[in-house]
Amino acid sequence: MESAYLTPAWLWLYSGVILMFLEILTPGFVIFFFGLSAVTVAGLVVLLPDVWFGFPWQLAVFSVLAVVYLVGLRRFVKKIFRGDVTTTSGLVSEYVGRTGSVTQAIKPGLAGRVMVGDSEWNATASVELAVGTAVVVTAQQNLTFVVKPVEK
């Protein structure tokens, strides 16, 4: 006796939902459209009798729909899920403009250390700076500050 939940329509539906959930584990947003194709075939199996829509036709329709969905919808759906992406150049660090003092001498081409706020940072400068010199942060390059002496 065949279970009501093991008919071709249910199997296509299970396959489609599993494929859609697998998309969460993979990058690229591709597997989702195979899942969408399987769910569509599940609906067609329910609507069309087995005489007209046997398993070979189901596989053919699944393949065609997967390509159509992938090529036709991926670009639009990807934008929805990814959202608006904006890039900014010249992002200013929160430390730029803050003052501190040199804790390890800085020479041109050689990094030293500065205390800014309550943290000590690597720093570079275009001029030689002795320990205790007051400096202002002019830029940040990764975890290294670019500093210059405070003008009096």
- CATH of residue 114's domain is 2.40.50.140
- 62 and 24, same structural domain? yes
- 115 and 70, same structural domain? no
- Is the per-residue pLDDT at 21 higher than 60? yes
Average pLDDT over residues 115-134: 94
Angstrom distances, CA of residue 99 to CA of 48, 92, 109, 136, 149: 75, 15, 21, 4, 9
- 72 and 112, same structural domain? no
DSSP H or E segment with residue 57: helix 55-82
Kindly report the backbone phi and psi dihedral angles of residue 61, in degrees, each rounded to the nearest multiple of 5, phi listed first.
-65, -40
- 106 and 41, same structural domain? no
Flag whether 18 is in a domain: yes
Angstrom distances, CA of residue 32 to CA of 19, 40, 76: 6, 12, 13
Kindly state the tokens that stand for 37. 């194709």
- 126 and 73, same structural domain? no
| Average pLDDT over the chain, rounded to an integer | 85
pTM across the whole model: 0.50
Distance of CA 61 to the CA centre of its chain: 32
- 78 and 8, same structural domain? yes
Flag whether 112 is in a domain: yes
Which residues, 6+ apart, have CB-to-CB distance to 35 below 8 Å? 15, 16, 17, 18, 19, 20, 21, 22, 23
Per-residue pLDDT reduced to its tens digit, 64-102: 999 999 888 877 877 776 655 544 445 567 888 999 999
Domain count, the chain: 2
Flag whether 92 is in a domain: no
Domain containing 136: what range? 99-149
